[in-house]
């Protein structure tokens, strides 16, 4: 079963709960298998000159993952904190 942030109890980040939020959001991304996108350790697979359909799909799927992480991060912070991540281009920046 796929769970998003709405199915688990992570209170949105605000100015008073950073340590608890950080602990929970790290565990959330680790559990989902997306932690390497947050740390920047996940590298984009190369797309060769004449890629197969499978390689094209794998590349597309890879690009969807960091966008999903950025979405989850944006949904996990309060409106008053969104300014800290709104211009991030990658999960690591956020």
- Write out pLDDT tens, residues 39-68: 999 888 888 889 999 888 888 989 999 999
Residue 48 lies in a domain: yes
Residue 50 lies in a domain: yes
Residue 91 lies in a domain: no
Q: How many structural domains are present in the chain?
A: 1
Contacts of 4 (CB under 8 A, 6+ apart): 72
Backbone phi, psi, residue 92, to 5°: -65, -40
Residue 92 lies in a domain: no
Residue 90 lies in a domain: no
Mean pLDDT across 61-82:
93
Instruction: Identify whether the C-beta of residue 28 lies closer than 8 Å to the C-beta of residue 10.
Output: yes
Contacts of 76 (CB under 8 A, 6+ apart): 5, 10, 12, 13, 21, 25
Residue 79 lies in a domain: yes
- pLDDT-based confidence at 7, cuts 50/70/90? low
Of 47, 53, 54, 92, which is closest to residue 73 (Cα–Cα)? 92
Query: Whole-prediction pTM value?
Result: 0.81
**Domain span including residue 79:** 5-84
Q: How crowded is residue 27: how many other Cβ atoms within 10 Å of its Cβ?
A: 13
Residue 35 lies in a domain: yes
Residue 93 lies in a domain: no
């Amino acid at each position: 079963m796929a769970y998003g942030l709405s199915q688990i109890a992570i209170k949105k980040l605000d100015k008073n709960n950073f340590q608890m939020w950080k602990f929970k959001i790290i565990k959330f991304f680790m559990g989902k298998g997306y932690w390497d996108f947050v740390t920047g350790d996940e590298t984009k697979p190369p797309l060769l000159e004449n890629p197969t359909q499978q390689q094209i799909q794998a590349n597309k799927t890879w690009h969807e993952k960091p966008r999903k992480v950025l979405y989850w991060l944006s949904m996990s912070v309060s409106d008053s904190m969104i300014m800290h991540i709104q211009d991030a281009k990658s999960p690591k920046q956020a």
